[in-house]
Amino acid sequence: MKNLVCVLAVAGILMVAGCCSKAAMKKCQMQDECLKAKVSQLEKALADEKANSQKIKAESDEMQTTAMQSITTMLSKDKAVQDKLQAKINELTTANSKLTGELEAAKAAAATAAPAAQVPADSNAPAQE
């Protein structure tokens, strides 16, 4: 009888231990499932953030490209205007040089013509003292 009580006691302890370990396993399993769900949520959030980051980068790249194209267009227009202004400056400089040359030639012609144009004093008139 003593052995039977001992066997029953051991069986009871094993049964209680089995229940406890089953409960502990169930609890661990639930915690594991909970952690897996959280990991899954975090992975999804990370994937969403990566997608959002790529979208923002693409938009940023597009804006940068558009800005560079606008700047290039403005600079090329400015260059065209500068080229036109430089051509006009060159044209005016050439015209100024030509006019300056003509003026100098006219001055020289006037200087040589002036002494010849002076009327000599009347040689028939009596000299005045």
pLDDT tens sequence across 107-127? 998 888 766 656 555 555 555
Q: Is the dihedral of CA 107, 108, 111, 115 positive or negative?
A: negative
Q: DSSP class of residue 121? A: P
Which pTM value belongs to this model?
Answer: 0.44
DSSP element (H, E) containing 1: none
b/e for 98-113, b at 16 or more Cβ within 10 A?
Answer: eeeeeeeeeeeeeeee
- How far apart CA 104 and CA 92 sit, in angstroms, is 18
pLDDT tens sequence across 71-82? 999 999 899 999
What would the two tokens of residue 81 be? 């205007």
